[in-house]
Structure 1
Amino acid sequence: MRVVAAMSGGVDSAVAAARALDAGHDVTGVHLALSRNPRSYRSGARGCCSIEDSNDARRAADALGIPFFVWDMSEEFADEVVDDFVAEYAAGRTPNPCLRCNEKIKFAAVLDRALALGFDAVATGHYAQLRTAADGTIEMHRATDHGKDQSYVLGVLTQEQLAHSLFPLGGSVKTDVRAEAAERGLQVATKPDSHDICFVADGDNAGWLAEKLGPRPGSVVDEQGTVLREHDGAYAFTIGQRRGLRLGVPADDGKPRFVLDIEPVSGTVTVGPRERLQVDALEGIRPLWCGTAPAGTLECTVQLRAHGDEHRASLTVDGDRVHVTLHDPASGIAPGQAVVVYDGTRVVGSATIARTHRREPVG
């Protein structure tokens, strides 16, 4: 097959490209330029999609002896990922830009361009496994290395996209991948993994959002409506947040308080005790299924954060709405996050959390 290897400049994508080459594919390395001003994105150990990363990707491609190109996806990235991120926070929701990037950029815009240019598939360094079912359906499963498993952020992929995807690292553990990179003479063998949000240069999400959205003053209140302090923007808070609340006045019981709710119109942020964060049901919108949508009630597990626990659940689908009852309650779940559905290790699909049902305290 003719394969585009998406090379981020990290060790995983470099080894994935090497393995695709070893498998006999005709491989071309492609680095995605995602910023109109790459120097505004992260660099160094916490980098992703920076000039440094582009140079690292080019050197890895040269070492492998494969053609290498840089594809400018900055306009698509700004429209589909960055602007969406800002809009979601402005609406009081907590988005995951990595899922959005996979859905709209890496496995939509990139795959569309690759297919138009005569390529057959896109290979990435994600840790997930693809299997062909008896009926010919392409299934996505969790990676062997559960500590590195990235099936959560790939839960937005459709059957058509999975059919044109390769994940060469799905059956490996990270330590072996680094050792292989060193054996192949790839300079990225010891390069640290990227973290956090690539387009927030200094890691200060609240400060970055403040620059984009400006001051939007409001109040932090307790569950009785008592004003505890004023703030400059509800976008600086997330459901479940404990640190940085700067309340000054302790709770009556002396226990820490957490963000329970964010009302974006008035800018009201409500705080309360940890036990009020418990969620036992949620509703999702904009579902994306890796195969056929579930019929009836599906007994499953769901994951609600990129590195979160699995929760036993029951799921029903009603058109473009997904209803999930959690048998294992979850804490601090925010609208805007993704619920990714699993049947064993198989990824069924995902949806965006629109609302949650808070568990009533016992006693």
Structure 2
Amino acid sequence: KRRRWAQAAEACKEAIDYLEGLGFGLYYFDDPTLNITASDKIMMNLRGAVTEKWNKEVVWANSQSWVGSGSYDNYQIQAMPRDLNPSLSAKNAQNRTNLAVSLGLTNSFYTKNGVPIEEDKTWDYANRFEVLAPTPSASEPGYENTVMLNYKTGTVKLNLEREHRYYASLGFDGGIWFGQGKTGLSGLYSVNARKGGNVSPIPADHSQNLTGIWPKKVVNYKTVMSDASTGYTSVTYPFPVIRMADLYLMYAEALNEKGEDYANVLPWIDRVRERSGLKGVKESWDQYVGNSKYATQTGLRQIIMQERRIELAFEGHYFWDVRRWKTATTELTEPLTGWKVRYGETDVDYYSENLVQIRDFTPKMYFWPIDINELRKDPNLVQNYGW
């Protein structure tokens, strides 16, 4: 097994060296025409790495899937909340807004200190669902003059003091939406997802977001949803299949699995973390957790798994990762939950964990069933386990 991981590590390093020699590397947002905060730039590093077409980080993109046009038009439409601009004259019929993010995924993102929310000794994990009183300020303490969150109507602790990738990836009630025609230091739209809010579900409409959380990361910030009469202006991009951050994390995983010392593994993870404004793994765990989880192969494996889930969220990797890690029987059996989007009007009512779907994943689902017609063609074929 270690021999195979050693081969995988060698292949990853060969690819990294070759690509970096051609000028590939991590994407950093740089638009001198925009007057934005340092925090916004950090968030746009991640959003741009996915949605800016053919940027230096994209190794392989599906040129048959231009997100925002043709049959893939729906991905951005479905990922945007309805009517971020409250002055729109009508609910835009094109904006179906169905893509919803589970609370389980929101829990995966780190605190602002770059460690899991349940491990950070400075973060109040036990009271993460506590509703906080409204504040007149649109700035989140701890982030300089940021526009990540505006909770003038109250919010839940889960949304506070999280890493930049949380705010870059997720659209949620009270969260600021950088884009939709607004990209300055002020006047940005915020998501008003509670009952009666401008982005809340339409009564009796079958098309709606069931959790109250949107995958903002996959929406190009220049894409604009107008009112029902003028429609939708999309900035398209080919969907990334492999980008350099993925390759760095694959290399780190292969090194760890072949038994490499953690000191040789961490720099590849830390490259990705640094781009999102986080300290390195060792420094973060030493300071905010108080243990050396990264120093064992098992502990470092868990860290790499979580890094991949955060960094590559909504890019199609998690589906395959949990299958090759053989963790799907645990992770894909957890119920899908969200906020009480249809009935929560006040902050206390809205921030109540609501069951969306019960899921099941049994060991046989690691395999695909062989079609009965194929089995009939060859009597030597045996159906896969469990089917």
User: For this structure pair, what is the TM-score category when the shorter chain's length is used for normalisation?
Assistant: under 0.3
**Structure with greater helix share of residues:** 2
TM-score, normalised on structure 1?
0.27
Select the structure with the greater relative contact order (CA < 8 A; seq sep ≥ 6).
Answer: 2
